[in-house]
Every structure is written in C-alpha cells, then in structure tokens.
Structure 1
Amino acid sequence: MKNKMLAIGLAAVLSVGALAGCSSPQDVSSKTELKNGLPEKYADGFTVPIINYPPYSIVDETGKVSGFDYDFAQAISDYFGVKFETKNATFEESLLGVSRGSYSWAPAASATTERKKTYSFVSYFKDGYKLVVQDSAPEIGNTTLDMCGHSIADVTGGYTLKYLQDFSKQCTDAGKSAIEIMTFPDQGAIQLAVKSGRVDAAALTLANGSYTVGKSGGLKVTGPVFAPTVECFTLKKDSDLREPMMKAMNALIENGTYDKILKKYGLEDAAIPKSEIDPDAN
C-alpha cells in the first residue's frame, strides 16, 4: 500500500512538471515578443501626458487626441508591443508627473542644463521660437532688441523664459524699456491672452506658431527666430527607459516611420539624423 501511494504521488508530480514544461515556452515567447529591450516593469504599458500644444498634441472638443506626440507614443508602444494611455496635463504638471512616476515620459521639452539636474532626456526633433501677435498688430522686427517694451507671454516653466529674461536685460542695458514677461498655465491660455489684447505677443515654437496661425484666425507670426532647441522626451533622472527609448526612436528613424509622422504634420525640416540620450544643453 505504501509503495502504491508513493507511485501515485510521483505520477502527480511528474504530471504537474509536464504541464509546467508545456506552458513555459509559450510564456517566454510571449515575453520576448513584448519586450524588444523594454524593462519588465513597463510590460503593462505606458502613461503619457497630453499638453494640447498643436501640432505636437491636439485635443478636439470631444476629447479625441491626435498630433505627432500622440503618433510617436503609438509608434513607440507598437515597437515594444505594449499599450499606452494618455492623460491631459499642463506642461509644468507633465514634468512634475514624471518626477512622481505618474507618467512614463513627458513629450516636447528642451534638455536645459538646469533640467538635467532632475531629469534624463531622449531627443526626437528640433525646433525654434518666434512670436505670435494679433494679425492687426504692427510687425515686430528681426532683432531681439525689437522685443523691448512689449509684453510677451510664455507658459509657466517654459523653455524660453530664460531667453526673454536675458533679452529684457539687453533692452535695459541699451537704455530701452524692459520686456514685460507674463506666464500662463498652457498654450491655449497664452494664445487667448494675445487675442484678447492682454499681452502684445506670445512665444511659440515655429511648428506651433505656424499651425496656430493656419488653424485659427486673428493671429500672425512675427519677430526674430530665437531659442533654437532639440526637443526631447523627458524621463526620470537615469531612468532605465532611456536606452530602450533611444533605440526605439532610432529604429523608427531607420524604418521610415519617423519621417512619415513628421511629414503628416508638415514638419520635415524638424527631423534629426539620430536620437541621443541627454543631448548637449541649450
């Protein structure tokens, strides 16, 4: 009887082992398909903030999201074989959300020296800035001193704030009126401030300024080009997602997906030859 019970127990163990052996290759295969170099903790997918900064991110009246940052989030997620979800945010909140771990990355930020103390970056396109004013307003000239005496809006924590502050000092050093710098939570707010006459101008990227003028009446692009920048995905400092993200972007560049996305929004001139981790600060 004892030998019979031992034989039954051994058979049960072998049966469980056989079942485990059958399921193991399928699990490994599934994980391999999913990864493409993605760390295990991201297997459930990404959460990405949407800042409603056309054409980077566009949120229509129904809440539907589009734009090239959305398209890049889709392409990157497809590359890794995971899903992604978006959440509406302001620019400042998007960076804070990365710090808190609420977001996998935040799109469209410049890798400044100051930001590099807190974040890591993966580059994905280049841009610059001009001013947007009411279409009935006088043109602003092509030098930074032509900004003197104007009130200019920027987003809270925006990349161009340091430039506007430097330009304002140049104005006062030259005996001209300072620039009045005003900050607002998002791009919609600064465009509304221009349209309502609350400020003279708003600092917008070339891509956003051109899109804004083309899509909404009453505005025009003017002034000098300033603050050239390489825009990046913002990640937690030394994030384990840096290397996989860079490789994903370079794969999209190589297979043509990158150019296809930029062309869709008329941004072919914004292309970079390769993606880098923590590019030189502006």
Structure 2
Amino acid sequence: MTARSTRSKTATRTRLAAVGSLAVAGALLLTACGDQTDSGGDGSSSESGKANAAPLFSKLPKKIQDAGVVKVGTNAEYAPMEYQEGGKIVGVDPDIAAALGEKLGVTFQFTSGSFDGLITSLNSGRYDVAISSITDTPARQNGLDENGKKLGPGVDFVDYFKAGTAVYVQKGNPKKINSIEDLCGQTAAVQRGTTYEQALQKQSKSCTDGGKKKITIESFDNDTEAQTRVKSGGAVAGVNDYPVAVDLARKADGGNAFQVVGEQVDAGPFGIAVNKDNKELTSALEAAVNAIIEDGTYKKILEKWGAQSGSIDKAAVNGGK
C-alpha cells in the first residue's frame, strides 16, 4: 500500500504512500529473504528473442526480452488484491499480472516487502515494476511527499483498476461510526505510508478546523497490525481500500469480526508503477492491459475475486489527478 500505495486527495484504499499482484506460470514459491518474501519461478521457461510468439513481446525492452522475467515488487497483505496463501502470492493483482505475461510472453515474478519501500526499491533497480494496489497520484508521479517536498524522481503509472477509501469497524458497530467524518475525537488504525493514512490526516485537520477534537491516528508497519488494533477495540475504526475492506469484512472470523460503514470515497486509479526512464516498458504494459480488457480476460479475473466495482474500460498512463 495502494495502495496499496503515497492504499493526496485520491487517497483511496489506496495503499498509497505519501512518497512514494498472480499466480504466474509455474509454481510460485515463497522463500524468506530478510523481511522480504519472493514468489515466482526463475523465468527459465519463458521464450525470448524472435522465437517468442506472444503478441506483444516485441514491445518489451530488450533487457526484459532476454531475461524472460519482469521483476515485481509488492506488499502481499491486501486480500483480495494481493496476499499469501498456501505458499503462494495470490489475488487480483497476481492474476492480472499473469494475464499480462501471456500477452507479453514473459513471467511476472513477485517479491513481497514493505509497502512504503516499493517505489524506492523500484527506482533503485531492485524491481522492474511495482504492483501492489498503488494509487496513482500526482505526488507519486513527481516524487513528492504530502507537503510537496521532493523526495525522489517519481514514477510513471499504467492504470488498471480503481478504488476508494473505506472505513471498517468492529462487527455491530459499537461506537456508531457511519463515515470518516464520525472519527473526530476517536482513535483510528491504518497502515503507515498509505494514501488512506493521508485521508485520516486530512480528516483530522477538518475536525479541528471545525472546532472538534482531532483523530488519534495509530499507524502500523503492516495492515494486519491495524486490523488487530480495531478487532481488540483499541481503535474504533480502520481505514483501507474499499475492495480490501469489503473482503476483510466478509472473511475475517467467518464474517463476524468487522463491517464496512458508509460508502467509499475519493475513488482513484490503481497503477502499475514503472521507472520514469523506462518508457518502453510503460508503453508495453499499457498495450497489454488494454489487450486483456478487450479479450475479456480482465473481466473474468475481477469476477473471480468479487472485485468488479474496480473495473475500468481502458488503461491510462498517469491518469491520477
């Protein structure tokens, strides 16, 4: 996160970091590497060069053609978008990536790490792309923090999904929270470095500007910790991307732990983040997203995961406003 990435006004679930998914061909194995989790094969089965018959292979940079692999950074903690299950990274984003790989003739190999470090790792060359429900915002495009301070070169986004911010509470809603505006004077939990953390900060300022008490924002390194805080009653609510919050409410403790309140707000695009110097890869990914939309694969993936609300009609580059 992001939403989910930096899960800005377009601070939707959007795991959005202020600065700034699947099953791929073959078995996806998770191996520990520090605090990182890798998922994917070695790409050795991918064809390269002129022998590759995939329709969009020729659009890829030669380096990726030769490798047969697109290295992907993610934060696999956001079911149904990307999460770990049975030794694999699964979800909407991994399935979309696998479909893109079919069009491009390469394997998308996922590595899971901290959300707030994804863009930095992308720009350092560790990953070719970041796919992690990252909200496409102008700040992230330009490498700015929430105060407009320049922190890095920024990234380009290939937009493939849309989602907004949602508030979830304990089942039964004991504190009668019906919207983010009801959190004035309350404690809310959120993952650090996401756009929904920014949404809480923005709302807290609105609370104090209106003569009400600020929101006590408890930010955690991962979303699981934020969920636990809400479940225990230490925070009256959590804030997340809408599809993630809905999936959480449906599945946690058999649907008995949480509920989503109110409507999603500030819906914005999720994008595949790409280094600004890699325009060729950005163009190839845009073409691949449009190809899976046009042939119906994209719709089937969203239906599989109950994520139809995030459907888009056409890919865009840097469409976040």
C-alpha distance in structure 1 between counterparts of 2:221 and 2:274, whole Å? 21
Alignment partner of 1:246 out of 283, 286, 289: 286
Task: Show the counterpart of 2:130.
Answer: 106
Deviation at 1:96, TM superposition (A): 2.1
SS at match of 2:97: helix
Question: Any stretches of 5+ residues in structure 1 without a counterpart?
Answer: 1-26
Alignment partner of 2:302 out of 244, 262, 266: 262
Normalised TM-score (structure 2): 0.74
Alignment partner of 1:216 out of 242, 245, 252: 252
Task: Show the counterpart of 2:160.
Answer: 124
SS at match of 2:228: helix
Deviation at 1:196, TM superposition (A): 2.3
Deviation at 1:89, TM superposition (A): 1.3
1:175 is the counterpart of 2:215:
no
Change in Cα spacing, 1:185 to 1:129, as seen in structure 2 (3 Å) is same
C-alpha distance in structure 2 between counterparts of 1:263 and 1:187, whole Å? 24
1:55 is the counterpart of 2:92:
no
SS at match of 1:86: strand
Deviation at 1:101, TM superposition (A): 1.4
Normalised TM-score (structure 1): 0.84
Q: Tell me if the contact between 2:73 and 2:122 (Cα under 8 Å) persists in the aligned partners.
A: no
The two structures, once aligned, show a CA RMSD in angstroms of 1.8
1:69 is the counterpart of 2:93:
yes
1:139 is the counterpart of 2:176:
yes
1:205 is the counterpart of 2:234:
no
C-alpha distance in structure 2 between counterparts of 1:197 and 1:73, whole Å? 37
Task: Show the counterpart of 1:225.
Answer: 264
Question: Any stretches of 5+ residues in structure 2 without a counterpart?
Answer: 1-47, 143-153
Return the letter of the residue paired with 2:83: I
Q: Which has the larger radius of gyration?
A: 1
Q: Tell me if the contact between 2:72 and 2:108 (Cα under 8 Å) persists in the aligned partners.
A: yes
Deviation at 1:227, TM superposition (A): 2.6
Return the letter of the residue paired with 2:242: L
Structure with greater proportional helix content: 1
Question: Where in structure 2 are the equivalents of 1:34-53 lying within 5 Å?
Answer: 35-43=57-65, 44=67, 45-51=69-75, 52-53=77-78
Change in Cα spacing, 1:167 to 1:39, as seen in structure 2 (3 Å) is same
C-alpha distance in structure 2 between counterparts of 1:39 and 1:191, whole Å? 40
Change in Cα spacing, 1:159 to 1:275, as seen in structure 2 (3 Å) is same
Higher alpha-carbon deviation: 81-90 or 117-126: 81-90
Alignment partner of 1:85 out of 83, 91, 109: 109
Return the letter of the residue paired with 2:306: G
Question: Where in structure 2 are the equivalents of 1:19-30 lying within 5 Å?
Answer: 29-30=50-51
C-alpha distance in structure 1 between counterparts of 2:178 and 2:231, whole Å? 20
Task: Show the counterpart of 2:225.
Answer: 189
Change in Cα spacing, 1:268 to 1:225, as seen in structure 2 (3 Å) is closer
C-alpha distance in structure 1 between counterparts of 2:97 and 2:263, whole Å? 32
Deviation at 1:67, TM superposition (A): 0.4
Quote the sequence identity (%): 30
Change in Cα spacing, 1:65 to 1:162, as seen in structure 2 (3 Å) is closer
